[in-house]
Amino acid sequence: EPEVTQTPSHQVTQMGQEVILRCVPISNHLYFYWYRQILGQKVEFLVSFYNNEISEKSEIFDDQFSVERPDGSNFTLKIRSTKLEDSAMYFCAGAQNPNQPQHFGDGTRLSIL
């Protein structure tokens, strides 16, 4: 069964540095999402992406965040200047359309020092 692949599995970064989290969605998926989960808390929606555009974003997704799908396969989340509170597990998810279940990747654990 095809899977959503995320890299790296763990990223440790100094506060103020830029990070890029990468996701390779399932090939027939067209709708893409980023979620985050702070340790011990619930999964929170960050942003949805379709047809090379952001379709919706949450309050968490401020100007420090950006997403893109530059080559038609990788789907990336960039945090421009990381803060301590950005430490969390970041999950990429995808779906064929909004009417179908979302499939999650294994996540990237981001640790900001």
Partner 1 sequence: GENVEQHPSTLSVQEGDSAVIKCTYSDSASNYFPWYKQELGKRPQLIIDIRSNVGEKKDQRIAVTLNKTAKHFSLHITETQPEDSAVYFCAASQLIGNTGKLIFGQGTTLQVKP
Which parts of this chain interact with partner 1 (CB under 8 A)? 4, 31, 33, 35, 41-45, 48, 50, 55-56, 58, 91, 93, 95, 97-99, 101-107
In degrees, rounded to 5, the angle at the alpha carbon of residue 78 between the alpha carbons of residues 74 and 84 is 140
For partner 1, the closer of residues 13 and 50 by Cβ is 50
- Pick 1 or 14: Cβ nearer partner 1: 1
Q: Which residue number, 6 or 82, has a Cβ lying nearer to partner 1?
A: 6
Q: How far is 111 from 72, CA to CA, in rounded Å? A: 28
d(CA 97, CA 103): 11
